[in-house]
Chains A and B, each alone.
Chain A
Amino acid sequence: MTPLPLSIDSTSLPSNVPARLGVVDREQWLALASAMKSAGAVLLSLWGTDDRDRDGRFRVRAAYLLRHEVVVVEHPMPATAPSYPGLEDRFPVAARLQRTTADLLGVVAEGGDGRGWVQHGRWSRQAFPLRRDSDPVPRTAASEPYRFVSVSGDGVHEIPVGPVHAGTIEPGGFRFSVVGEKVLRLEQRLGYTHKGVARRFEQLSQREGHRLAARLSGDSAVAFSWAYCAALESITGTPVPPRAAALRALALERERIANHLGDLGALGNDAGFAAGLAQFSRLKEDLLRENARALGARYLLDWVVPGGVATDLASERMGVEAAQLAALEATVLELKTLYDEHPGLQDRFREAGRLSAEVVEKLGAVGLAARASGMGQDLRIDMPWPPYDWLEPRLIQQSTGDVAARVQVRFGELLESIRLCQTLLARLPDGAIRVEVPIASPDRLGLGLIEGWRGPVMIALHCGAEGAIRRCHGHDPSWQNWPLLEHAILDNIVPDFPLINKSFNLSYSGHDG
């Protein structure tokens, strides 16, 4: 491993990917952020912890994603002055993460945006839910108006949207400033689905945490529950049986396939091609029904468990699975040709919601949205954990960064995931599907990182005494990619917003926490 810049001491951090932890003071916190930016790192997440009961300090942590490792830096602050230098100048994603840390913990970034983010004025601003002495948090009667940035000028008007949207989607607020049909500015207001998951984790035992992790964003349940289990298994030094690891990958790839099928259908529909929705939603339903038959549930919310998986794949289903995947592949290829050669569809897809590689790099985007602009990485390839070390997934990228590119990345990843599933079925190891995971010793910190269908999901698990969870921080790639949408819509017309939005299909729940 290359040494950390600035000669900061680091220790290895338990994780399913190469990870290190360094402790820094104020100056090093900033200097390291600059060094990370120069090294091409992405700020993956930022979160805080109340450790006043241990050593009278608050801590803020930042996780940086480099090409082949994750570096977590920890900055302790005295309880009397809980503030730290903000990182949003270097990493724009930090802005909302810092506002959330201020909302939940009362630890503030200096000089940042003072508006609440998940705090909508429905609980007391003097109470901070993640402080250990905060119970109970008093509610307030009515939410406060939000100060959107206003755009003025001849003919500029605003369109407020949400939080309840017109379709079957999650709630969030959008404020468009437009001239005619052209969008000059979009400002998002999120946090509506904030359910207090970080505090809820602290009420669960280490053996139950995976269930809540799966529900951070239901469409990424396998990715999040695997990330949680990977953190716990790394902390306790529990190797997962090879069969369980392979079955987890099978479920993760099926989750990717299901989401891409759903979105490809919806993207066709949003561009006026209803037959696409009918075809793709039928394929998705077939896949979910096979999930129920082969793995016990349509959506695998409680299937990845500490030490392995909940149910085995019966040998008599393997042939059916393989045949179904082969049929799926043939139909998807046929539909891909239909999409590619449909002039009306391509006219809507091309040039819509374009993101250049420069914008993607500047904003620190991740996952499929970054890969559609020729950037980004894939954890399964750059930091492969079992079974991806022998599966060798191929990187799917496009360069144009428009809706058409995101559609092509989805097609590419969908077909690649079918190939990975076929390989897994053909080479599924024998043996146990679950082992016992011992109780982790107190105060251990571990990370789980999994490449979900949107991008990398992370769980940072901090263990408490006697099997308790001291702090658990979940991070969805939607944090990185929501700000992309604010850029992608610029100079596009309002009627293209649903299409552009769907091409990202970001999680509100995963973001709001």
Chain B
Amino acid sequence: MLDLLRRILRTGIVSERLPAPGEPPVDTRGLQEALLGVLGRALCIRHVDAGSCNGCELEIHALNNPYYNLEGAGIRFVASPRHADLLLVTGPVSVNMEEALRRTYAATPDPKLVVAVGDCGACGGLFGESYASIGGVAKVIPVDVTVPGCPPSPVAILQGILAATRKRAAPASSG
């Protein structure tokens, strides 16, 4: 136990300041306020792999490491679409996953946001469109923001998530 505490103390706090969409970096408190302004609460994300090569999943995992301190910014990954505000969808959508993706989208309460992650999520990527691949996520469900990259970095994914929440906030504040 003491060894563990020593390890934790020696590691210290490694969390970094989170970037705003399109930079420059802002501190996490500002980010939290921005999120609260949009949603009135923290942001819950449900990830859906609709057929990816698992590269994007690795970077979504990385987003949950201590450097990015997502939970500190009020962002949390949840286990069910029914708890989610935002779907983070990877892959070219395979024909075998099309129905599951549609159902997950339907199970997510309104108002919902969708961020398509990676070149494949954006347009099908190298897999393209074929008998087995439908292509980009937008061919199956409405997409608010796409994050290109193969795979996109955790920071790019985070910026995509923030861009989607801001986009939703914009019409509300103008109306």
Residues of A within 8 A of B (CB): 118, 120, 122-123, 127, 129, 136-137, 139, 142-143, 163-164, 166-171, 191-197, 199-200, 211-212, 215-219, 221, 262, 275, 278-279, 281-282, 284-285, 288, 298-299, 301, 334-335, 337-338, 341-342, 507-510, 512
Contact = CB atoms under 8 A, between A and B. Distances in A.
26 contacts: A118-B96, A127-B131, A129-B132, A136-B131, A139-B131, A164-B49, A166-B80, A168-B60, A168-B64, A171-B50, A171-B100, A192-B96, A192-B100, A194-B132, A199-B131, A212-B126, A215-B55, A215-B125, A218-B53, A218-B54, A262-B61, A275-B8, A284-B62, A301-B55, A338-B4, A507-B54
A224 to B, nearest CB: 10
Interface in B113-168: 125-128, 130-133, 150-151, 153
A509 B53 contact: yes
Interface stretch (B21-29, B31-39, B87-95): B87-95
A118 B51 CA distance: 13
Interface of B: 3-4, 7-8, 11, 14, 47-62, 64-67, 77, 79-81, 91-92, 94-100, 104, 125-128, 130-133, 150-151, 153
A508 B50 CA distance: 12
A217 B57 CA distance: 11
A505 B127 CA distance: 24
Nearest to A298: B153
A197 B132 CA distance: 9
A281 B94 contact: no
Overall SS of chain A's interface: loop
A167 B99 CA distance: 19
Contacts of B3: 334, 337-338, 341
Contacts of B132: 118, 123, 129, 194-196, 199
A196 B127 contact: yes
Contact of B56 (A123, A216, A218): A218
Contacts of B60: 168
A513 to B, nearest CB: 9
Contacts of A129: 130-132
A262 B100 contact: no
